[in-house]
Amino acid sequence: MEKKVKALLDTITFLVFLFFDFVDVVLCVAYELLDKLFEAKPFPCYCGKKLETKELSETLFWRKNVFREMGFLSFGRKICEAVKKRDDGNRGEVVNRWSDCGCDSCVSWMKKSNQKLHVVVKEFPQVNSEDGPREEATTENVIFLHGFLSSSSYWTHSVFKYLSEPLNHQIYRYFAVDLLGFGKSPKPNDCLYTLNDHVEMIHKSVISAYELSSFHLVAHSMGCNIALALAAKYPKFVKSVTLVAPPYFSDSNDETSSSMALNTVARKTLWPPLAFGKSVMTWYEHVGRFFCFLICKNHTTWERIFKLFTQTRELNFMVVDLTRHTHHSAWHSMHNVICGGSKFMDDYVGILINAKVKVWVIHGDQDLTVPLDCSNNLKMKFPQLKLIIVQNVDHGTVIFHRKRDFVKSLQHIWATS
């Protein structure tokens, strides 16, 4: 009986995703046509594009589609080739895509000549003792990096409320960053959102802008990959790295690492609904763009609707963050940072171990988004790492259900580093 049920579910799953294969091919032609009509310099999709650089993830190119392999795109592209691209003299400018939101908040970054990430800074003032200023006090800097489809609010609404100035004559400055393409940070359409793109923007917006000569790193989920890349580039600057639920999928074969990451974090499944939505948005470039066109482009409208139904003035920051991105930024960050970035993780951790940088890993034992096996495998590969397994918490509650304890753990890590 169980085998029959499993066979039935497998058949239904196959048919559902076969339908999405067809829809994705149709939308590929539709978007190519619309992009040529509305954009001066359309960004090409990955349906027929070949791998050109090591920084791009293999998962962008080898996602199989039955109808694409049968040549269904040929006829549609002949129609698209007959349509001339719009030429309005703005080819050199980075403009907003027609399918992205154009509200004041989403396009404000375009008005700035020197584009930087949105950074929230929390700093405690120098406290004078009875004998005068504390001249012996030193400043410790901490950079917080959020995960996928989130923003700096992830930290400012959680641990920032419980951070206080530690003792031992140290003054702490905390930097919560909106990563490139998310929250209030720039979302350029000419960017591929590689690990290097994220690292360079953090250096420009935080390390260089605030003249940091040393810092601690705290990161959650996707932010862990970026934190390791940043730390490996500046190992002499980094005092400690704390990774919360890191998506570690290392393998001796680079391509296998990327595919392992994709099939783990976005495996094709119908249940639960969140996993189903994640798989559709990750496997199907054009279906994902369609949903972003409906939701992200109209996020202000959806926010007003939610406020009306919930009778609240302010929505939960997690609900707001889910739509504060473009399909282009989310799509490339998922593939180039989480999936493609997995093949660099061993090298990055190795650099930190050799530089004697302390790396701590915190993971919930009930995490279904990024399985605990990721951190266990990381610990097995690098025994020098410190692994803390928290019982009865998942991907989000590992922080949000234990904010005070999490802050205490961080302060202990910083003090011992």
DSSP class of residue 46? S
H-only helix segments in 215-266: 222-233, 254-265
> How many Cβ atoms sit within 10 Å of the Cβ of residue 11?
10
Q: How far is CA 157 from its chain centroid?
A: 18
- Which residues are CB-neighbours of 69 under 8 A, at least 6 positions away? none
- Which residues are CB-neighbours of 292 under 8 A, at least 6 positions away? 99, 100, 326, 327, 330
Closest CA to 278 of 222, 362, 220: 222
Determine how β-strand 119-123 pairs with β-strand 138-145.
unpaired
- CA atoms of 217 and 232, how far apart (whole Å): 12
- CA atoms of 269 and 280, how far apart (whole Å): 9
Closest CA to 400 of 159, 145, 178: 159
> How many Cβ atoms sit within 10 Å of the Cβ of residue 267?
12
Which two tokens mark 29? Answer: 């032609």
Residues belonging to the active site: 146, 221, 367, 395
Rg of the chain over CA atoms, in angstroms? 23
- CA atoms of 195 and 189, how far apart (whole Å): 16
Taking the alpha carbons of 352, 354, 355, 360 in that order, is the dihedral positive or negative? positive
- CA atoms of 152 and 376, how far apart (whole Å): 27
Which two tokens mark 100? Answer: 């992205």
- CA atoms of 353 and 362, how far apart (whole Å): 18
